[in-house]
Each structure stands twice: as C-alpha cells, then as structure tokens.
Amino acid sequence: MSGRSNIAMLLGATLVSAGAFWAATAPGVSQEAVFASDLAFNAIEPITCPAEPMNVLIGQPVADVDLETLPQPFEVYAHDGEPRGEYRAERLLIRFDANGTVTNVTCG
C-alpha cells in the first residue's frame, strides 16, 4: 500500500472514530443522527453570486432597471449608502452614482 493510501485510511478511521466518540458521549444523540447530519451537510449546494450576468446593468440609468426581473434577493443602493444587514453571498447588490447611473454590480 502506498503512503498516500495509508494516510487516507488513517484519516478516514480517525474521522469515523471521532464521529462515533462524539455520538457516544453526547447525551441523547444517536450515532445515526450524527452520520445523517453529516450526509445532509455534504449535500448542500454552494451559494452562487448572480452578479456576473447582471453586469450588463452597469452604465444604465437605475430608473430603467426592471426590478421584477432581478434575481432574488437583491438590493439597490446609492453611492453614498451601504447595503443593509449582514453579508449574504447570494444577495445581488446594485450601486448607483449621484447621477442615477448603475456603477457597480456585486454580491454581498
């Protein structure tokens, strides 16, 4: 067996042991629940930012942006403002300048 295979086996055994240890020591939590939650976590799709295809808005008057066609969630804010709330990787942010022209399209 190669060194890489030995490391992979050792790592896998360590992770399984750690999960079994946690499940055995956590009151009221079954080992099946721990492994099921691990599977659910690994099945989550990565969050994607929809900003790149929306870059066509840059240079357009913000008044001409059709809000009905924007991907949800989104926020439009002025050059002297900030997005509201916490960072959200999937939230489209459209910024416009003092003249009402879209200057930046990002996510956050």
In the chain, where are the structural domains located? 3-42, 51-107
CATH topology of domain 51-107: Trypsin Inhibitor V; Chain A (3.30.10)
Strands annotated E in the chain: 74-78, 92-96, 102-107
Determine the average pLDDT of the residues in 75-82. Answer: 92
Distance of CA 79 to the CA centre of its chain: 25
Summarised one tens digit per residue, pLDDT across range 58-70 is 999 999 999 999 9
Q: Is the pLDDT of residue 47 over 80?
A: no
Q: Is the pLDDT of residue 101 over 90?
A: yes
What tokens appear for 28 in the block? 């009221």
Residue 74: pLDDT band (50, 70, 90) is very high
Residue 76: pLDDT band (50, 70, 90) is very high
Contact 37, 30 (CB under 8 A): no
pLDDT of residue 73: 93
What tokens appear for 69 in the block? 């066609």
Find the radius of gyration of the CA atoms of the chain. Answer: 23
Q: How many CB atoms neighbour CB 51 within 10 A?
A: 18
Give me the count of residues in the chain.
108
Summarised one tens digit per residue, pLDDT across range 10-46 is 444 444 444 444 444 445 545 554 444 444 555 566 7
